Structure 1
Amino acid sequence: MDRKMTQAQTRNSTAPIDFSRSAAARYVQLASLFRRRVESGQWPVGSQIPTVDELAEECQVARATVRQALDLLQAEQLIERYRAKGTFVTGKPQEQFWCEVASNWDGQLIAPDGVSIEILSARDRRMPSSADLSLGKLAQSYQYWHRRHWRNGRPYYLGEVFIDEKVCRRIPAKAFETKTSMRILRDLPGLEIVEAHQTLTLGSADPELADLLQLPLNAPVAHVHRSAVDRNGTIVFIGDGIYRGDVVRLDIRLK
């Protein structure tokens, strides 16, 4: 194990932390701060982090608040506590697993290795409320799926899928348990996708999302909205997905 890091080594500035800028509980905000220190290497893997007393003094919070924050990191297997020895960093968030949000068409067709897809609800007829009509016209009706993706025993993605009901009649139900939505559409004979769009925005987990993705309340998440248009100008697919923010990676070729 590396030597213990001093309080001065971990402090980013002499100014106290302003916890009033967020509605999140203090321990959740502290956990985000500590998690970032692990991820950035400020608290390297193998190093002993400051004591609860030192962190409480640095952050100007109660010792119980620090303990709650450290409980979250321990649950994520980022730290381990040893009686009479201290608390040590045992892993980094990006070492658990990355989930690349593909930024091109080919990338949308590939499901990551080791992924299992859970159907939360299926074959429910409803109309999407998030359609961008500047891309095309709506179909007469859509079929709706709600799916949760798992990897390494952890949920990392929630997806709501709307597909033109006429198109759905030709899709085997089993396909939704093994394939990405874009892959399902591409493999469907006679369907030509002429346009596809994706928008990514950042947000935080509300109580329902936190429960479904096994995240702390207000933890970062990435919202992805996707749509696909066929050669007749019909929006045949609309997808609204939410990724855990701690596993998202964007790789974009700039040249």
Structure 2
Amino acid sequence: MDKKNTALYFRVYESIRKGIESGTYAEGDKLPSERKLCKDFEVSRITVREALDLLEKDHFIKREHGKGSFVLGNQYTQFLNNLYSFKDEIEKNGDKASTKMLNIQSIEATPFLQEKMGLKKGDRVYELERLRLSNDKPLIYEVSYLPVALCEGLDQYDFNQVSLYETLNQHYNIQITNAYENLVASKLSKKHAALLNGKENDSSMYIERLSYIGNAVIEYTQSITGSNKYKYTVKLM
């Protein structure tokens, strides 16, 4: 993809994203058709589809075949009083926790990731894609982003065998000090349904996590789980 096309689809993406965040597009609203977006932004349909793909990936919209693109509901933020690991939570119930690493690669941080993680244009992040399993059954699909500058060489580790947090602690002297999670009800996409042994459009939970060392973001993770497989409980007092 050339730089001109990249700039074009990010311009469309940013405009729609800001419209959603400002309330111009409310929860449940249908976005203009691809044809109208092409006309409004004076771009090709390929460019519009790339922008919509990214909006769906970042969970601003849900695309329904033959119906259009719809704005997802607002997220809420819950402070985590206790940091937790997937392995610990699963094993508390006497179940077997495991991880299937699907991919890890170094990529240039997108404008979305720059904003989320406090990065600059040109900064690179590791994109770690994993499937988390309980008793060998897929439970959660996760994509984690970590700044290359803080953990260079992270892509050398086999996260089928080792814990991400333990690796950060033992090899980079990084200990997470606090974290926040955003949760929103969602629907399984075709891709996520296949990975989680579900059905397309099944109810799911989208979980967005930001983990910090001091004031710096060390990890940004997007997780998808079937709502009938995972329960999130908040202790209020």
Which has the higher Rg, Structure 1 or Structure 2? 1
* d(CA) in 2 for partners of 1:155, 1:189: 29
2:184 equivalent among 201, 205, 208:
201
Q: Secondary structure of the equivalent of 1:106?
A: coil
2:84 is the counterpart of 1:107: yes
- The aligned counterpart of 1:137 is 118
**Structure 1: 5+ residue runs without aligned partners?**
1-101
* d(CA) in 2 for partners of 1:136, 1:239: 11
- The aligned counterpart of 2:30 is none
- The aligned counterpart of 2:204 is 221
**CA deviation vs aligned residue, 1:29-67 (integer Å, no higher than 9, x gap):** xxxxxxxxxxxxxxxxxxxxxxxxxxxxxxxxxxxxxxx
Instruction: Tell me by how many angstroms 1:252 deviates.
Output: 2.0
- The aligned counterpart of 1:254 is 236
Instruction: Tell me by how many angstroms 1:239 deviates.
Output: 0.7
| Distance 1:154-1:130 versus aligned 2 partners, 3 A rule | farther
| Distance 1:243-1:130 versus aligned 2 partners, 3 A rule | farther
* d(CA) in 2 for partners of 1:129, 1:184: 27
**CA deviation vs aligned residue, 1:129-178 (integer Å, no higher than 9, x gap):** 54484x76216211111111122231111111111102232648446224
Instruction: Tell me by how many angstroms 1:122 deviates.
Output: 1.0
Q: Secondary structure of the equivalent of 2:150?
A: helix
| Distance 1:180-1:226 versus aligned 2 partners, 3 A rule | farther
Provide the aligned length of Structure 1 versus Structure 2. Answer: 152
| 8 Å contact from structure 1 (residues 149, 157) kept in 2 | yes
- The aligned counterpart of 1:118 is 100
User: Using CA pairs below 8 Å that are at least 6 residues apart, which structure has the higher relative contact order?
Assistant: 1
* d(CA) in 1 for partners of 2:193, 2:158: 27
- The aligned counterpart of 1:242 is 224
* d(CA) in 1 for partners of 2:129, 2:207: 14
| Distance 1:136-1:206 versus aligned 2 partners, 3 A rule | closer
Q: TM-score, normalised by structure 1?
A: 0.51
- The aligned counterpart of 1:164 is 147
| Distance 1:212-1:109 versus aligned 2 partners, 3 A rule | closer
* d(CA) in 1 for partners of 2:110, 2:224: 16
- The aligned counterpart of 1:8 is none
Instruction: Tell me by how many angstroms 1:107 deviates.
Output: 2.0
Matches within 5 A, 1:143-162: 143-162=126-145
Instruction: Tell me by how many angstroms 1:212 deviates.
Output: 1.0
Letter in 1 for 2:159: F
| 8 Å contact from structure 1 (residues 108, 183) kept in 2 | no
